[in-house]
Amino acid sequence: MKENYIFSKKTLIYLIMPLIVEQLLAVAVGMADTIMVASVGESGVSAVSLVDSVNILLINIFAALATGGAVVAGQYIGRNQNEKASRAGEQLIVFVTLISLVIMAVMYAGRSFILNVVFGSIEPIVAEYANTYMVIVFASIPFIAVYNSGAALFRAMGNSRITMKTSLIMNTINVVGNAILIYGFRMGVEGVAIPTLLSRAVAAVIIVLLLRDESLVIHISKPFKYKFDGKMVKNILQIGIPNGIENSMFQLGKILLLSVVSGFGTAAITANAVANTVTAFQFLPGAAIGLGLVTVVSQCVGAGDYDQARYYTKVLHKYAYMALAMINGIIILSSPFILKLYNLSPETAALARKIIIFYGINACLVWPLGFTLPNTLRAANDVRYAMIISIGSMWITRIGLGILFARYLGFGMFGVWIAMICDWYVRAAFFIRRYRGHKWQEKTALGMQKNME
């Protein structure tokens, strides 16, 4: 009966809206950062871009571990085992902190390898800037790891307003700091790196202090006495590791496709870069609702109520489609004005607008089924299936067809985008088939229940 549902419509809105604002902040601040970094010069932009490509891979790993912790904690909440939910949160925070410190040490030790092997043959000035940027930004690795974990735990409790406010503080420090150090003190790449480190440190401290509130369902106990719980960490890693592999391989695949795009000239590269910036907004509501879906479904699964899990999956997909239709309608109609801001040549602007329209139409048709729906599976511990389909479709459909369409069938750079959309439809078909069956429910019953006792 509807009155027995775990989440009311009002609760869902309170969960989703801050997530959308948080995602919007991240994308908008990313754009602002790019504009400010440009004043440093092309060498500085290149250096920051190269190092950030490595940072994104690391952040994906921490986000995956955070998702694992959030799912485990959320399932305990659904079972009304709040003490175990808190224990899962503590295990997540400590484990991620230790792992991030190890990764930070490895990254510092491997700076020369990253500069000379990973980045390949780059100009000396770019290498110098990249090294300077790495020295500062790599110190922020533990902070962003802890923040991501804490934010995931608040989302597991259904409190996304806390993460939105913390994100607002973090991004404000970042943007204001960049502006002061770059424009005021002319500090170059240091002016980009220092605010990044400071903002992440502040966010991590805030999120940990907030988690010390013992009135919260998930909290860090006072006094804090940590005891390693192997079963709990195993539960977290069972979700986090496949999710991390999926995210990392997906990011690597996107990097490889950039090499295909780069072979079609400056106009194609510029159009692709601009389109990537704009399309980040075109799927944003779906990504935010996907985060909310993890919270909702994990609690339903913990309660053993799969009817509600399916009900909320349907409801949140309806919200996702409505939001995507609205934002893509606005972006497509305003795309001529948006593209004028970039001062593009007619050829580049035409290609970028073609991509934006093509992307927007298909996002409204299939994006939630390819990217939001698998979060239901992940929240029910069916992470291996989601990983296999996502990686397989990425490398076979998106990369395989991307090379075929772009290089051999004459579609040029636009062929990469056609292949991307094909990837969406392929993964959507597999995820729909999985969701309509019952194997994803058995994954929880056979796997997690044994280890959660």
Alpha-carbon dihedral sign for residues 333, 339, 340, 344: negative
Q: Which regions of the chain are under pLDDT 70?
A: 1-3, 34, 42, 444-453
Where along the chain do its domains lie?
1-228, 249-453
* Mean pLDDT (the chain, rounded): 90
* CB environment 70-88: b (16+ within 10 A), e (fewer): bbbbbbbbbbebbebbbbb
- Which pair of tokens denotes residue 158? 């259904």
CB proximity list for 321: less than 8 A, separation 6 or greater: 364, 368
Euclidean distance between CA atoms 207 and 176, whole angstroms: 21
Euclidean distance between CA atoms 69 and 239, whole angstroms: 8
- Which pair of tokens denotes residue 287? 């990504």
- Confidence at residue 449, expressed as pLDDT on a 0 to 100 scale: 52
Residue from 252, 253, 324 nearest 288 by CA: 324
Residue from 426, 92, 105, 69 nearest 243 by CA: 69
pTM for the full model? 0.87
Residue from 177, 132, 395, 152 nearest 295 by CA: 152
Euclidean distance between CA atoms 364 and 425, whole angstroms: 12
- Confidence at residue 252, expressed as pLDDT on a 0 to 100 scale: 81
- Confidence at residue 34, expressed as pLDDT on a 0 to 100 scale: 67
